Amino acid sequence: MLPQMVLLAATAILALAAPLGVGVALGFDRQATAAVQRRLGPPLLQPLYDLTKLATKVGGPADRLLAGLVLAQLGLSAAALVLFATGGDLVVAVLLLGAGHVMFVLAAASVESPYAQLGASRELVLLVAREPLLLLVALAYGQVAGSTLVREIVAARPLLLEVPTLGITCTVLLGIALCKSPWDIATSHHGHQELVKGSTTEMAGRWLAFAELGRWYEVAFVVAVIALAAGSAMVFGMLLAGLAWAAALLLDNALPRATWRSALGMAWGIGGASAAVALLMASVGGGGLWP
């Protein structure tokens, strides 16, 4: 019993540290984008430098309600990743992640800045685009494995072989989580696209760092869901996640920013259709959660 508790505790600690890996991956992402645009990019660890600098700034939040909601977002996003890493229910973890993003939307909407209000409304559109797709992915995984528990899904046969169209859905989900074009309608890290940061306009210092860290947990969760398609083959799973990230990066540099209607339409038209096909394939293939 004690060794199992120690293992769970170690897994939870690793899950909490996962955003550091996301920060390094974002550094590679920025360098790749800079290379495509034929310019000198930032250092590899620049995202971590930026986060550390923000976290060490001294000063109160612009609004106490905003501060509380940002902390709630960070806590719920971290809890979702910990639940995933310790083998818990994937559907519950997805719902926790969605609740965390709702807190972020409320935080952006809690201040009177028109830019933040506009960013909050667009974040809500992305929430509507992302959360149902994540739930469909979780249900497709559960249908193949016969359970939505992550530890049971890992023990099942590799899911990508059963439902290959989920790769398209997961790429869309990663593009939304990374705020990549054409889904960067609420905020963007590209200076030529966004002069005002939208949903994070009124966030500064450590509170902006907390919000950004919460975003990194969301990205880590989506990456983990993609890697889960490989089952117990962790190396192959990380390769799948890397391919999905590369595809999202390619879309970011090939497609312009969409309007909120077309962004939602593309998310559901491409990702939703692929998820529906995967769910149908999983149901026809046998096993699963329902006859």
Residues 85-102: tens digit of each pLDDT = 888 899 999 999 999 999
Number of compact structural domains in the chain: 1
Whole-prediction pTM: 0.88
Structure confidence at residue 280 (pLDDT)? 84
Q: Please tell me which residue, 155 or 90, carries the higher pLDDT value.
A: 90
Mean pLDDT of all residues in 211-230: 91
pLDDT: is 41 or 168 the higher one?
Answer: 168
CA distance 140 to 134: 10
Range of the domain at 39: 2-284
- Does residue 291 lie within any of the structural domains? no
Tell me the pLDDT tens digit for each residue of 250-263.
Answer: 888 777 777 878 88
Q: Is 289 part of a structural domain of the chain?
A: no
Decide if 290 is inside a domain.
Answer: no
